[in-house]
Structure 1
Amino acid sequence: MTITIRADAADPGEPLAHFWSVCVGAGRAGEGLRAAWQEQLRTAAATCGFRYVRFHGLFHDDMFVHHRGADGSHDYNFQYVDELFDRLLDAGVRPFVELGFMPGDLARTKNTVFWWGAHGSPPTDLGAWAELVGRTVRHWVDRYGVDEVRSWYFEVWNEPNLRPFFDGTRGEYFDLYGTTALAVKEVDRHLRVGGPATSNFVPDTRFDGEREDKTAHATVTEAEDLRALEWRPVWVEAFLDHCASLGLPVDFVSCHPYPTDWALDSHGEGAHYTRGADATPRDLAVLREIVDKSAFPQAEIHLTEWSSTPSPRDHTHDHLPSATFVVKANVESIGLVDSLAYWTFTDVFEESGAGGSAFHGGFGLINFQGIAKPTFHAYRFLHALGDELVVRRPGAVVTRETATGRLTALAYHYPPEMPYSVPLSTPGRDVVEATLALGSPEVLEIELTGLPAGATVTVEILEPGSGDALTAWRELGSPDPLSREDIAFLREAAAITRTEVLRADRDGGLRHTRSLPPWSVVLVTQRPVLGAHQPG
């Protein structure tokens, strides 16, 4: 197989929305008060283009937004939230507000999920919850101005179909959504609210019942059968029908299309199956069709969590195959959604407590010590694409920048020997090491015409040993813990990728052929090398 990048600078194009860089995830609000979290967010936003960030725990007890006084009064304190949101906005990033979890003084049940004890619970008093939401949103309007807050999104809860995250029924979530959405709209009708923020897609609609807190079981004897099943988003159709029947607002639809098995009892537990490599674009096409046929066809679609797997201890997240999967899935999903938010930008993340080592398989694009992973480069490459789509073919895409006319192309070698999404690798690296060994080199052909005579074209390659922190770490002898000198060395090593500088001929043509190893990603830009890309 040959992967081909072929285009003329004058070829017609169509608008290309960078849905991959609209939003990125993070763990919880309290973590956002830390210096490393804030530094890494600034780096990710500046280098990968992220414009919004979403996180759990806005109303968790460690943010001190709500507590009940000795006399039974409801007291509010926005100092910690103000500190966090001020710093987000100063960094040029807006909040994609997840309204949850429940403050302890309003929670029916407590400490249902995560090391930090989130209260995944319906409120004991819906009226008190509505008051909390309304006071919080009014505070933001007063502090930042209504025009600014109108640019935000308000998502009701997180994965309410999973019992650790919501210890209630589907009907109770629908009641919570309606109460919350109306409380937001009472502040200003132009504020954008949506849901249901449910976890995962499941085989057909038979699992879309009233309570989906148990691991779904289907009679599947071969992995191939998993790819043949029809997968549907959990609760979304029922949610849209419910909102339409009651006249509730839905400005956007959200869910979490992890390319894994079915909704699990909790992240990382239950049966693990890996779906086809095309699971993400297939799921997004299904969701697009559902929304288009609903009573809310104009609703935006925001997939507010997504990664190769939903485990914060999957060593694939530290390796090259995860980056290649990110590029492949996003390129193949062009035109289907308004955002697909990677979970997460940082390993400053404590759902399961602190990671036991620098490279523990955390979700982050950047590890705890500020060292870039291959997925960081994947999003940097995607961000470098232009705003016009010129060519899209298997394994490659060519774009143009409207303002300058410059071409940018992206190619990836996701080996056909892996017909599935990259599989989970836990507790060790054995699975991802076997995944890396799959496949053989392919030929990459680059043929560009219509360039300015002598134009400089840079070919940047993400491959084993290039933009690859783990290889550099192993060359150091795999130290654990990392010394300050180790961290400085690995930050620099992880930022370096192989580059070649080519020039167009006097007729504005450029032809180049090279071998492309399995799992590699190539960025071709009509511009000079811009230097190191190093997280702070």
Structure 2
Amino acid sequence: MNDKPTVSLFKLRGFILSLFAILASINLSIAQEKDIRNDEPVHFNIDLSKEIGPMQPAWAWWGYDEPNYTYMKDGKKLLSEIADLSPVPVYVRAHSLLVTDEGPRAALKWGSTNAYTEDSDGNPIYDWTIIDQIFDTYIERGMKPLAQIGFMPKALSTQPEPYRHYWKPGAEYNDIYTGWAYPPNDYNKWAELVFQWVTHSVERYGKEEVESWYWELWNEPNIGYWRGTTEEYIKLYDFTADAVKRALPTARIGGPETTGPGWDKAAEFLTTFLDHVISGKNYATGKTGSPLDFITFHAKGSPKVVDGIVQMGLRNQLNDIDKGFEIVASYPELKHLPIVIGESDPEGCAACSEADYPHNAYRNGTMYSSYTAASFARKYQLADRHGVNFLGAVTWGFEFEDQKWFAGFRDMATNGVDKPVLNVFRMFGMMSGQRVSISGGVNAGTDTFAYNLDSILQSSVRRAAQDINAFATVDTKSAAVMVWNYHDDDKEMPTAPIKLTLGNIPVNKVLIHHYRVDKNHSNSYQVWKDMGSPQNPTQEQISELEEAGQLKLITSPKWINVEEGKAQIEFDLPSQGVSLVRLTW
């Protein structure tokens, strides 16, 4: 019998942790009701000798609903930029890679490849042309697929009509769940499709390349994306995993890509799946258990409009991650497996625009970028707390072809122009080696501004003062400190004077590069607004916007002296600003 907490015990633990968090944060709450005194910097001490864990590039994962945007003009441009910002291969996850082509191939929350059809006698016809075009685009840029096996081809669906949807922002979201979301009418034909796809991939790209990919089944099978039962998903997983391993025994297969582990039913789906892969009877082989090389689930925030402004829900996203990590950690047999948060975002619908969903107004500007800094740092903390193998967190935000400028989609770029949020990922791309200890987050008056993890899990970032915090790494000849000034409320907050004291620097002199994302730096959205928000910008304006979308230094690089292993750096960090201070020697 597997020794693991039940779902009800997870709820009890959450209640107890909430009580402790309330008690632990009483003094913090009192301190944070005070405004920042501009003459007293918030002070952080960074000890480069106190390593707390590897800087796993968990941020280097992206995904999107519309696979056919991959090989379009702006899609290729953005993928090139994403690949260029990372020192390691970026993994890319896209929906609908097995969807049957009906009507326009690409549209919001729709994509198709026509990889599988049947002739009049029901014999399979395989066509890898479009999938190859998508994967070739990744491979050419040194990227790798997190290859999503889904959704159901029309010829295999138990309910093929209606199949094509024509969803647009503002329409009922459930309208998207059509024939592609149903179980197969023949599990053996489905398994053969998977086997042929993996076999073709090995033939085209080589065994060693495909061994470096990750294969995963479906998307969010605990909600409308799967119109079958939990057991039917498990059956599909068994047939899929067996087919992948028959085609390439060393391939990596994972799942179940459930969403919202903080929900009772989602936690139950995840635990039922994990119980099965350990001790259930395999539907495909009749043996005990099923192959599982990595574990996936999703975590989303929950923004809303309060008193006319957007208020983010950082707590919601982190609680999903906390519960997901806790569930995995409760299985001794599985705790060592890599975890990929298959979608990790401020909310749930990338294609839901700001115009139709006002709570999405955070997406164009620096709220999204500062949220990203604050949330990713806490993901590492949660992994450390639970002792799990945190491999990646997929940002579900890419680009949307032929849409209005800054339309309020959750994307990294608009019409080929990078948004501020992408520049935070460029910052992460310069952080490597080992994560190191940080203390402080207080000013000379002992007012605390750095929200601790339990405080955010309990009440998010809602008190008077901002979350002014830092995240640091050290490598053999460099160190980097990311600092952010974040609050859940999307409004102007006080500027924070920052003082960084770095200790145990192994040389006498270092070169400082200070990068910034804020209202006036690395911010194409602000430049576009200053232009008058043109929907038909001139080529000269587009060039200016492209330049504004790149990551900027706030000062020229400079050398500073290190005395007794210490260096001090001071600067002001405005509301929703993110700084990266990078030292090289």
Decide: shared fold, TM above 0.5: yes
Matched AA of 1:400: V
Match of 1:187 in 2: 247
Match of 1:166 in 2: 226
Q: Secondary structure at the match of 1:235?
A: helix
Matched, 1:409 2:443: no
CA offsets, 1:90-140, max 9 Å, x none?
210011000001111112234376649772221111111111011111111
Q: Secondary structure at the match of 1:409?
A: strand
Matched, 1:293 2:330: yes
Match of 2:413 among 366, 373, 384: 366
Question: Structure 1 stretch 277-286 or stretch 290-299: which is displaced more?
Answer: 277-286
Match of 1:260 in 2: 302
Q: Secondary structure at the match of 2:547?
A: helix
- The equivalences for 1:47-446 within 5 A come to 47-49=85-87, 51-61=90-100, 62-109=112-159, 110-111=162-163, 115=167, 119-163=180-224, 165-203=225-263, 205=264, 207-208=265-266, 233=267, 235-244=269-278, 245-246=280-281, 247-260=289-302, 276-294=313-331, 295-311=333-349, 312=351, 313=353, 314-334=360-380, 336=383, 337-348=390-401, 355=403, 357-367=404-414, 369-393=415-439, 394=450, 395-402=469-476, 404=477, 406-415=478-487, 418=488, 435-446=489-500
- The answer on whether the counterparts of 2:317 and 2:346 sit within 8 Å (CA) in structure 1 is no
CA offsets, 1:392-420, max 9 Å, x none?
35411221113x2x2111111113xx3xx
Q: 1:48: how far off?
A: 4.0
CA offsets, 1:245-300, max 9 Å, x none?
22112211111101239xxxxxxxxxxx9775344444323222211222422322
Q: 1:454: how far off?
A: 4.1
Matched, 1:513 2:570: yes
Question: What is the alpha-carbon distance in structure 1 between the residues aligned to residue 232 and residue 537 of structure 2?
Answer: 47
Question: What is the alpha-carbon distance in structure 2 between the residues aligned to residue 3 and residue 377 of structure 1?
Answer: 24
- The equivalences for 1:497-536 within 5 A come to 497-500=552-555, 501-505=557-561, 507=563, 509-527=566-584
Match of 2:550 in 1: 495
Question: What is the alpha-carbon distance in structure 1 between the residues aligned to residue 336 and residue 76 of structure 2?
Answer: 34
Match of 2:15 in 1: none
Match of 2:528 in 1: 473
Decide whether aligned partners of structure 1 residues 443 and 383 sit closer, same or farther in structure 2, where only a CA change above 3 A counts.
same
Question: What is the alpha-carbon distance in structure 2 between the residues aligned to residue 51 and residue 159 of structure 1?
Answer: 22
- The answer on whether the counterparts of 2:50 and 2:437 sit within 8 Å (CA) in structure 1 is no
Question: What is the alpha-carbon distance in structure 2 between the residues aligned to residue 191 and residue 274 of structure 1?
Answer: 42
Q: 1:496: how far off?
A: 5.3
Matched AA of 1:33: Y
Question: What is the alpha-carbon distance in structure 1 between the residues aligned to residue 341 and residue 536 of structure 2?
Answer: 35
- The answer on whether the counterparts of 1:25 and 1:341 sit within 8 Å (CA) in structure 2 is yes
Q: 1:39: how far off?
A: 2.0
Matched AA of 2:378: E
Question: What is the alpha-carbon distance in structure 2 between the residues aligned to residue 388 and residue 248 of structure 1?
Answer: 35
Question: What is the alpha-carbon distance in structure 2 between the residues aligned to residue 114 and residue 260 of structure 1?
Answer: 26
Question: Structure 1 stretch 480-489 or stretch 39-48: which is displaced more?
Answer: 480-489
Question: Structure 1 stretch 492-501 or stretch 77-86: which is displaced more?
Answer: 492-501
Q: TM-score, normalised by structure 1?
A: 0.80
Matched AA of 2:125: D
CA offsets, 1:134-166, max 9 Å, x none?
111111122222222111111100111222x22
Q: 1:59: how far off?
A: 0.7
- Give the alignment's Cα RMSD to 1 decimal: 2.5
Question: What is the alpha-carbon distance in structure 1 between the residues aligned to residue 372 and residue 533 of structure 2?
Answer: 26
Q: Secondary structure at the match of 1:495?
A: coil
- The answer on whether the counterparts of 1:28 and 1:58 sit within 8 Å (CA) in structure 2 is no
Match of 1:213 in 2: none
Matched AA of 1:485: E
Decide whether aligned partners of structure 1 residues 506 and 124 sit closer, same or farther in structure 2, where only a CA change above 3 A counts.
closer
Question: What is the alpha-carbon distance in structure 1 between the residues aligned to residue 335 and residue 274 of structure 2?
Answer: 10
Matched AA of 1:410: M
- The equivalences for 1:1-12 within 5 A come to 2-9=41-48, 11-12=49-50
Question: What is the alpha-carbon distance in structure 1 between the residues aligned to residue 222 and residue 84 of structure 2?
Answer: 35
Question: What is the alpha-carbon distance in structure 1 between the residues aligned to residue 148 and residue 47 of structure 2?
Answer: 44
Matched AA of 1:378: V
Q: 1:467: how far off?
A: 1.3
Decide whether aligned partners of structure 1 residues 181 and 380 sit closer, same or farther in structure 2, where only a CA change above 3 A counts.
same
Question: What is the alpha-carbon distance in structure 2 between the residues aligned to residue 322 and residue 360 of structure 1?
Answer: 14
- The answer on whether the counterparts of 2:423 and 2:517 sit within 8 Å (CA) in structure 1 is yes
Question: What is the alpha-carbon distance in structure 2 between the residues aligned to residue 518 and residue 452 of structure 1?
Answer: 33
Aligned residues: 463
Matched AA of 1:167: R
CA offsets, 1:182-232, max 9 Å, x none?
1112222321111111222444x2x35xxxxxxxxxxxxxxxxxxxxxxxx
- The answer on whether the counterparts of 2:70 and 2:137 sit within 8 Å (CA) in structure 1 is no
- The answer on whether the counterparts of 1:3 and 1:411 sit within 8 Å (CA) in structure 2 is no
Question: What is the alpha-carbon distance in structure 2 between the residues aligned to residue 279 and residue 443 of structure 1?
Answer: 29
Question: What is the alpha-carbon distance in structure 2 between the residues aligned to residue 179 and residue 306 of structure 1?
Answer: 28
Q: TM-score, normalised by structure 2?
A: 0.74
Q: What 5-or-longer segments of structure 1 have no aligned partner? A: 209-232, 262-272, 349-353, 419-434, 529-536
Decide whether aligned partners of structure 1 residues 260 and 34 sit closer, same or farther in structure 2, where only a CA change above 3 A counts.
same
Decide whether aligned partners of structure 1 residues 522 and 275 sit closer, same or farther in structure 2, where only a CA change above 3 A counts.
closer
Match of 1:226 in 2: none
Question: What is the alpha-carbon distance in structure 1 between the residues aligned to residue 431 and residue 42 of structure 2?
Answer: 18
- The answer on whether the counterparts of 1:160 and 1:197 sit within 8 Å (CA) in structure 2 is yes
Decide whether aligned partners of structure 1 residues 201 and 438 sit closer, same or farther in structure 2, where only a CA change above 3 A counts.
farther
